Amino acid sequence: MPGTFEPLPGGGAAVALDDVEISIIRSLAVQLLELIGPGPASDAPDDPLAELFAEGPSEPPADPVLRRLFPDAYCDPEQVPGSTKEAEEQQAHSAEFRRYTENDLRAGKRENALAVIRTLDVLSPVGEEGAVLKLSTEESRQWLGALNDLRLAIGSRLDITDEDDTDLLYRLPDEDPRKPMVMAYLWLGGLQETLVTTLMP
C-alpha cells in the first residue's frame, strides 16, 4: 500500500504515508488555500439568499496558476483576445459565466483543500512504519479534487501544457532547480491515479 491508494471494504480508500509525505501534502494544501483566497468575510451579512446571488469577478485572474484553476468557459486559449467579433462575443459570455460561477468554484476548491488538511491532522502519531490514512467515499472525492488542483497548480508553474512536457520532466538532471517540484508533481499524479481507481465501480 505505500504510496498508492487502495479501496476500503464498503467504500472509501486508504494509503500509507510517512511523516515527510504528510508534511509535503499538508504544506501544498495550505499553499493552495492561500492561493485560492479566503471565503466570505466574517462580517458579511448572514443571508444565504444574498450569498447565493452574490456576484464574483468577471475578469480572469492575473496569476497564471489561478487562470489554470479557473479558466475561461467559452474562450479559445489559442485565440488572440478581441481579434474577431466572435472572440469578443466569447469573452463577453465568459465574463458573464465567470461572474456567476467563480465564487462557487473557489468555495468547492477551498473545501477540498481543507478536507485534505483536516484528514491529515487527525492521523495517529507517525512511527517508522508511517500512518495509514483512511478516507470515506466523500473524503476520497474531496482528496481527488484537491490532488487535481495541486497538480494543475504545479504543472502551471512548470509550464506543462501537454503529455510531451511531462515526458521531458522525467529526464531533468538532479541539479535542475525544478527537480523537487517535478518529483512532487509526478508523485501526486501517482496518488491521483490510484485514488481514481478506488472510486471506480
Tell me the one-letter amino acid at 172: L
Question: How many domains, in total, are found in the chain?
Answer: 1
> Which has the higher per-residue pLDDT, 88 or 44?
88
Q: How far is CA 159 from the centre of its chain?
A: 16
Would you say residue 132 lies in a domain? yes
Least confident of 10-14, 73-77, 148-152: 73-77
Domain that holds residue 39: 6-199
Cell digits of residue 114? 481543507
When pLDDT is averaged across residues 89-118 and rounded to a whole number, the result is 81
Would you say residue 42 lies in a domain? yes
Would you say residue 192 lies in a domain? yes
How many CB atoms sit inside 10 A of residue 149's CB?
24
Would you say residue 155 lies in a domain? yes
Q: What is the Cα–Cα distance from 193 to 201, expressed in whole angstroms?
A: 15
Summarize pLDDT for 1-27 with one digit per residue, the tens. Answer: 457 999 999 899 999 999 889 999 999
Would you say residue 162 lies in a domain? yes
How many CB atoms sit inside 10 A of residue 48's CB?
8
> Which has the higher per-residue pLDDT, 76 or 110?
110
Give the number of C-alpha atoms closer than 13 A to the C-alpha of residue 124, restricted to the C-beta side. 9
> Which has the higher per-residue pLDDT, 40 or 141?
141
**Positions of E strands within the chain:** 6-7, 13-17, 131-135
Would you say residue 1 lies in a domain? no
